[in-house]
Structure 1
Amino acid sequence: MTSVDNDQAKHAIRNRVWALLERERAVPPGVHGRIPAFFGADAAADRLAELPVWKSARVVKAVPDKAQLPARARALIEGKLVCMAVPKLAENKPFYLLDPATLTVPPKDAASSKVAASVGRKIGIEDMQPVDLVVCGSVAVNRYGVRLGKGAGYSDIEVALLHEAGLIGPETTIVTTVHSLQVVDDDLPETEHDFSVDLIITPEGVTECSPPRRPDGLIWEHLEQETIAAIPVLAARRDDRTRDG
C-alpha cells in the first residue's frame, strides 16, 4: 500500500469513527477533525489510575486534548509532574512543565490546555526528566495497539523526539484513553514513524496490546519540509544535520 493509499484509508476510518460517535451521542457535536472529547473520560481516567503503572509513575507526558484532561488533572492531584506539548510544537521550548508543588491554581484548572500556558513553565527537551508514562489521545485504535490520531502527526513527532533524547524507551508504557466505540477491529495502516500503545483504557475496561513498537527517533524522509520549518526544534536539528554533512 502506498503512502497515499495509507492516508486515504486512515482518513476513511477517522471519518467513520467520528460519525459513529456523534450518531451514538457518545461525544458533543462537532467532533470531526478532533481527538474526541468522549463522554466517560472521567471514568476512563479513574480506571487508568487503578493500574500499577500509573501508581508508580512520577513523570507523565500527556497530550493537551480535552479527552485526556481528567487524566492530567488526576496526575497533578496525585503529585505527579505533567509535561504537555506547546500547541503545534511551535516554540523553541516545546513543552509545558506542570509541577503540582508550584501551581497557583487548582489542578483541574492547571490541567486545561489554555491555563497550562499561563501557569506551566516552558521547557526544552534538554530540560525534561525521563518519562515514566505517556498518555495519548486517539481517534481510533485496535487491539494490537495501532492508533490513529487526528492526522496532524504531532504525537508521533513528540514520541520520536523523546525517544531520540533517551527520555522514553521500549520500557516506557504508552496508554490511550478512549470511548469503547473508538476501539475498532480494522487492520489499521501502520508506518515506520508510528508508535503503538501498550494499553487501551475505556470506561469499561483495559486492553493490553503487544509487542511495543516505537521509532528509534525522527524519520526525516517522512517529514514534509513545511512541517520541519514550522516546528523550531525540527528546523534547528535539520540545520545541525546540514552543517554536519
Structure 2
Amino acid sequence: MTHSTMQSTLVATEAEKSGRWAGRNADKDQLRKEIWQALEESGMNVGPVWSRISNWVGADVAAKRLSELEIWRKADVIKCNPDPPQIPVRLRGLYDGKIILMPVPEFGTGDLPWVLLDPKELERQGVQFELAATSVGAVQVGQKMSFENLPKIDLAICGCVAVTQAGGRTGKGGGFADLELGLFRDLGKIDDTTPIVTTVHSSMVVEDGRLPVMEHDSLLNWIVTECDVIETQPSHPQPGGVHWDLVLPDQFESIWFLKELKEKILAAKAD
C-alpha cells in the first residue's frame, strides 16, 4: 500500500467517525465523537457505534424502567424512533397494548413515511411482536401513514446520542427528530403537555454546558437509562412548529415529502 493510499484510508475512517452530517455544529460534532468513542472503548456498545443512534448494553432495562412510569401507563399512542436501542421500548409497547407509531428510517425515499403498529391487528394477523418491533419488520407489517393522518400522540420517544438534565439532546446529526417534532406541533399531533422522552446509556448524559440548545431544538422531559430515571429541568420553553428558515437545503432535497408538506402547513396557517 502506498503512502497516499494509506492517507486516504485514514481520512475515510475519520470521516466516518465524524458522522454523516458533520459540519452543521462543531460543538455537537465533537460531543458525538466523544460519546461514540467512549461507548466503543467501554465495551458497552451492541453492534456498530459510529454515525448512528448506537445500541448499548442495558437498553432492555431502560425500557422496563420507562414502562413503569405514569407517563407510559397513561399513554395509548406512543411515537418511537426506529433505532436498535429502542427495540425493547417498541416491544414493551406492543405487549402493553399500545399503538406504536414509527417513522420509516430517515423517512424513506418515496413511500408514506410512517408506520402504525396496532397490537390487536398484529395478533389477528398472527404477526409476532418481536418481528414488528424491529425497524425492518415494522416497515413490512405496519400500516403505512402520512404525517397528516397520524393519530394524536400521547408520548413521544426520541433516539439520542447525548442528553443533559436541562433537557438538551442531540441525535446523530441529521436533524430528523427536531423536524419531526416541529411538524407534529404544526399538525396538532402533540402539544406542550406531550412528554418527550428518551432511553440512553448513562454515559450519554453529559453536563448541561456541553450541549448547546438552538431555538428550534425540542427539549426532553424525561431521560431513562439502565440505572436511573431523570425528570429534566428544561432550560427553555419548547419551540413552536417548524422553523422553516432554519431547515437546510439538503434536508429539503433528501426528505422527499418536505416541500409539499411545508406548502400545506403554511397554506393552512394563512387561512
Q: What TM-score do the two structures reach when normalised by structure 1?
A: 0.92
- 1:143 equivalent in alignment to 2:165: yes
**What corresponds to 2:229 in structure 1?**
206
Q: CA deviation at 1:157?
A: 1.1
Q: 1:71-114 CA distances to partner (integer Å, 9 max, x unpaired)?
A: 00000111100000012223463210001011132112101000
1:189-200 alignment to 2 at 5 Å? 189-200=212-223
In structure 1, distance between residues paired with 2:226 and 2:149: 34
- Between structure 1 and structure 2, the one with the greater Rg is 2
- AA in 1 matched with 2:189: L
Runs (5+) with no aligned partner, structure 2: 1-21
In structure 1, distance between residues paired with 2:131 and 2:153: 23
**What corresponds to 2:18 in structure 1?**
none
Q: CA deviation at 1:29?
A: 5.0
Q: CA deviation at 1:181?
A: 0.5
**What corresponds to 1:134 in structure 2?**
156
Q: CA deviation at 1:179?
A: 0.7
- 1:183 equivalent in alignment to 2:205: yes
Name the SS for the 2:120 alignment partner: coil
Q: 1:30-52 CA distances to partner (integer Å, 9 max, x unpaired)?
A: 30111120100000000001101
Identical aligned pairs, as a percentage? 38
Runs of 4+ in 1 over 6 A off after TM superposition: none
- AA in 1 matched with 2:187: A
Range that drifts further, 232-241 or 90-99? 232-241
1:95-244 alignment to 2 at 5 Å? 95-103=114-122, 104-187=126-209, 188-211=211-234, 213-240=237-264
Runs (5+) with no aligned partner, structure 1: none
Q: 1:124-179 CA distances to partner (integer Å, 9 max, x unpaired)?
A: 12221110001111101011110110001111111111111111011000111011
Q: 1:56 aligns with which of 74, 79, 91?
A: 74
RMSD: 1.9
Q: What TM-score do the two structures reach when normalised by structure 2?
A: 0.84
- AA in 1 matched with 2:86: Q
Contact 2:47 2:55 in 1 (8 A): no
Q: 1:13-63 CA distances to partner (integer Å, 9 max, x unpaired)?
A: 000011111111110353011112010000000000110110110000000
Range that drifts further, 60-69 or 19-28? 19-28
Contact 2:165 2:232 in 1 (8 A): yes
In structure 2, distance between residues paired with 1:127 and 1:118: 19
